[in-house]
Amino acid sequence: MSEKLKERRGIGSIEVGGQLLVALVNAAQPLSLGDLARDSGMPASKAHPYLVSFCKLGLVEQDAATGQYSLGPFALQMGLVSLQQITPVRLAIPEVTRLAALLDHTVALAVWGSHGPTVIYIAESTRPIHVNMHAGSVMSMLGTATGLVFSAFLPPKLVENVIAREMNDELVIGQAGVRMKKADIQKTLNEVREQGMARAQGLPIPGIHALSAPVFNHAHTLSLVLTVTGPQGSFDIAPEGVIAQQLKASAAQLSHQLGYVATAIS
């Protein structure tokens, strides 16, 4: 056997066990041992020891109440690191950090993940705000400025199921703090498209404002979303204000670096 073939030999047990992780990723939801075994093509008695080891590593976790398995915290960390290595994200992180220092407000970077708008990086200001947002947070599609940008600029077929799920769960609130109707949603999304950004005034967190702007790529599709957040008393929410203009400038610069040409769209 040649040295080249020897170097390419893998470990069969890792490849077999990896099918369980593939099954969890493809399902995008918790699965029982039986479902996991079926989807990965192995007996449950064979799948279980792999799952025990994966749980110890943090790649998988088991719900104590239901017994179902889902991807664990280490799998999330691996995914976040992988996302940060993608070229658009690598380009954006220095700009996000620069913008946070310039405005002295927290700036978050989000991408479209398997469960919706997902924060992958946060640059804190010198006056950090106490909000439940961290790398890995999935944002509401219509209850946050970040989600509104994704809702407005992604293809409707891609987002409609996520939006429908939020409406069914009665999670969708508008700027007046009341449940949004379909007509309200379309009006809001049209405003986001017209302004090229989204605003959230004291929602979903009272006293915290946010502005979000889209970053497009060479194919004129939404690649990233930048979001600036800050306390109501020191945060100018106006579309013509300094924060909004600096945010849009950063988003436009990143779009330009990714090959986006605005004039190419009629």
Residue 177: how many CB atoms within 10 A of its CB?
10
CATH top-level class of 3-71: mainly alpha
Do residues 99 and 228 lie in contact, with contact meaning Cβ atoms separated by under 8 Å?
A: yes
Tell me which of 85 and 191 has the higher pLDDT: 191
Give the pLDDT band (50/70/90) at residue 252: very high
> How many Å from the N-terminal Cα to the C-terminal Cα in the chain?
60
Tell me which CATH code domain 78-264 carries. 3.30.450.40
Give the mean model confidence (pLDDT) for residues 209-224. 94
pLDDT of residue 166: 76
Prediction pTM value: 0.70
Whether residue 171 has pLDDT greater than 70:
no
User: What is the domain partition of the chain in residue ranges?
Assistant: 3-71, 78-264
pLDDT, one tens digit per residue, over 54-66 is 999 999 999 999 9
Instruction: State phi, psi for 73 to the nearest 5 degrees.
Output: -65, -35
Report pLDDT for 183: 78
pLDDT digits (tens, 9 = 90+) for 89-140: 999 999 999 999 999 999 999 999 888 899 999 999 887 677 778 888 889 8
From the list 69, 19, 13, 10, the residue with the least C-alpha distance to 42 is 19
